[in-house]
Amino acid sequence: MSHHDSDATTISAALELLTAHGFDDLARPLEMLLNAAMRLERSAYLGAGPFERSDDRRGYANGFKPKTVASRLGELNLSIPKTRDVRDGVEPFYPKALERGERSEQALRLALAEMYVQGVSTRKVKAITEELCGMSISSSQVSRLAAELDDELDAWRQRPLGAVRYLVLDATYVKVRHAGSVMDCAILVAAGVREDGKRAVLGVSVSLSEAEVHWRGFLESLLERGMHGVELVTTDDHKGLRAALRAVLPSVMWQRCQVHLQRNAAAHVPKVEMRGPVASRLRSIFNAPSRVHAEQLLREAAAEYAETAPKLAAWIEENVREGLNVFGLPEHHRRRLRSSNMLERLNREIKRRTRVASLFPNEASALRLVTAVLAEVSEEWETGRVYLSMDAT
């Protein structure tokens, strides 16, 4: 029997259950239909069905993971389709029928609930909250649920760390209500590549400031949890972050994110028509086969712009070398450590999930949701494929 026939049989069986039991037992047919839909979605994602040959195939089916999902129709016993050997650059498969991550979904519900019980929400938020939670919300219920989830997430944030070869740091912002005003709240995120070549989210911290004191405390907390062996840290050129790195990790080589350098250069280009050529020139420096070659290209660029764009020439001399320290790494590690792009997906995921709440009632609520999102991504990284081969270094 082909997988198409099997799914058709499943759908027929679900319809028979509906016919026989009506509204008395909707959980079983829903369970069957969701499982069939997820199998079809996996085949579409892979570009091929089970045992089907295709040049467009993006990976392979890899069995199922059992998952029990609570719903207002009762418990649903689902079989989540898994994949393996998915092409680089392709987002991991997860069925659209399910919201990824129970913890992040619970944290999002709590953020909305807190907005309601603290009187800063609208009737629409109340309706959304009751729809998500399946019940009316009270302050005591919110407090109890928040405390339970906070214990779990705090344990994840405080978990011991071991050897981390490469460290990547970045910050993003969410809106938080504080003392009656709406303020930008900085979310500091640390990710790294461990000795086994896999990525992990190492930590997260939330504060109303991205100042040096916040970064310094965050970095010190990573060391207190046992992080050691860092050979290179990649960040942008935020002054508070740089000062904190000099204080806490003074002997670690610093790589200034090349993507941020490219963006920064645009502010020093005197004419719009020069932006393309300047960007191309910087790319050639960053893509040079060796640091010696990169330094030579840098000197040539600065000399060429000395008369036509003296401020740009000075900026290149003073800043671009900070983006060349990655040449001290094994060649097959450079591309992935020369920028903070590793954290771009994390920041996109944070923005996607926090956009629903739009405004957090307090810092604790923001930290709860962001931690839940990052913990789920980190678990995916740590149980997934190796990010960098550490064999030939």
User: So where are the chain's domains?
Assistant: 3-98, 103-156, 258-339
Nearest residue to 385 via CA among 240, 199, 224: 199
Q: DSSP string of 141-187? A: HHHHHHHHHHHHHHHHHT----BEEEEEEEEEEEEEEETTEEEEEEE
Q: How far apart are CA 330 and CA 25, in angstroms?
A: 60
As given in the structure block, the two tokens for residue 82 are 């898994």
Q: How far apart are CA 187 and CA 120, in angstroms?
A: 22
Per-residue pLDDT of the chain in tens (393 residues, 90 and over written 9): 445 455 556 556 655 655 565 555 566 767 777 777 788 788 888 887 666 777 777 788 888 888 877 665 667 788 888 888 776 656 677 776 665 555 555 555 555 555 544 444 444 445 545 554 444 555 565 666 667 778 888 999 999 999 999 999 999 888 887 777 888 889 999 999 999 999 999 999 998 876 889 999 999 999 999 999 999 999 998 888 999 999 999 999 999 999 999 998 888 888 888 888 899 999 999 999 999 999 999 999 999 999 889 999 999 999 999 999 999 999 999 999 999 988 887 888 888 777 765 677 788 888 888 888 898 889 889 888 898 988 755
CB proximity list for 287: less than 8 A, separation 6 or greater: none
pTM, two decimal places: 0.68
